[in-house]
Amino acid sequence: MAVQVDVPPLAAPVRKTEKRRAFGEVPGLATLAFGFLVFLYLPIAVLVVYSFNAGNIVMVWTGFSTDWYAKAFANEDIRKATLNSLIVAVSATAIATTCATLAALALARGGSFRGKVVSLGVITLPLMVPEIVTAVAMLVFFANLGLNLGLGNVILAHTTFCIPFAFMPIRARLEGMDTTLEQASRDLYASDWETFRLVTLPLLMPGVLAGAMLSFVISMDDFIITLMVAGAGDTTLPVYIYSMIRQGITPEVNAVSSILLLFSILIVTAYWFTTRQKPGAKSH
């Protein structure tokens, strides 16, 4: 008579689960990140500190003073260069934001059409092309046409360069918007223009403002394109700062650079608050 022996099944091998490290727990990463931030921002901090230097020598501290800021504001050439920068930046921002909004609407709300992918690539191409290439291309283009519009040349060049910067946040806002309200507006017999003016545009406005602010700060700080296409008397503030540096760095250069830096920080901060989405908030 055979005896049946129950053999317990073999237990499955226990696998040790390895605990994944958090990104911040990687050895040496915090030190590397801190060193990178110091390398990036320490020269800027030194520039701002020495803009309050009382002496004429930029790197020899002789005392605290705001005289160089007063001299910068009293300098007629600096005021003219600042005015030129504001004219160019405001004009280029208005044109670039309008073109970017229309392009984003066509690509995000225009359905499928032939050349859609190519159109998207053409609009975003200036983001990937080196700025010096864009500057030389614009210079050759204006020279072949014999176009000499003064600040108009700079405005056209800045507009071309700023369109993709305005396009990206506007398109991102459109892609994240729910189309239910637009469909409801059409169901209530609103025309396409009424739907755009009363529904789409108010919902799209944060993206439009973000694109406009980004374009403004890009245009205001641009140097390479302006240096290539600007004519005599059309000097903008970054180009004027460059000409001051060629004559020798003084605390006045630091003061003007610090003012431009503060202005850029304010614009970028406003851009961040405009694009920041509150926790739990959703695009309707």
pLDDT in tens, 66-89: 888 888 888 888 888 888 999 999
Q: Does 278 have pLDDT greater than 70?
A: no
Q: Does 279 have pLDDT greater than 50?
A: no
Query: How many CA atoms, within 13 angstroms, populate the side-chain half-sphere of residue 49?
Result: 10
For residue range 201-257, what is the model confidence (pLDDT) as tens digits?
A: 888 888 899 899 889 989 988 889 998 888 877 888 888 888 877 777 777 888 888
Average pLDDT over residues 102-123: 82
Phi, psi for 125 (deg, rounded to 5): -60, -40
Q: Which of 209, 109, 133 is nearest to 166 (CA)?
A: 209
Domains along the chain? 72-275 (1.10.3720.10)
Using alpha carbons, list the distances in angstroms from residue 11 to 7, 8, 14, 18: 12, 9, 8, 21
- Do residues 72 and 78 make contact, with C-beta atoms less than 8 angstroms apart? yes
For residues 176 and 23, give the distance between their C-alpha atoms in angstroms, rounded to a whole number. Answer: 29
Least confident stretch, 16-20, 231-235, 272-276: 16-20
Confidence of residue 275 (pLDDT cuts 50, 70, 90): low
What's the confidence (pLDDT) of residue 5?
A: 54
Query: How many CA atoms, within 13 angstroms, populate the side-chain half-sphere of residue 244?
Result: 21
| More confident site: 137 or 267 | 137
Average pLDDT over residues 87-92: 93
Average pLDDT over residues 121-137: 87
- Do residues 267 and 217 make contact, with C-beta atoms less than 8 angstroms apart? yes
For residue range 167-214, what is the model confidence (pLDDT) as tens digits?
A: 998 988 888 887 788 778 877 878 878 888 888 888 888 889 989 988
- Do residues 206 and 221 make contact, with C-beta atoms less than 8 angstroms apart? no
pTM for the complete prediction?
0.76
Of the chain, the end-to-end C-alpha distance in Å amounts to 79
What's the confidence (pLDDT) of residue 98?
A: 94
Confidence of residue 99 (pLDDT cuts 50, 70, 90): very high
Average pLDDT over residues 274-280: 58
Q: What proportion of the chain, given as a percentage, has pLDDT over 90?
A: 12
What's the confidence (pLDDT) of residue 13?
A: 57
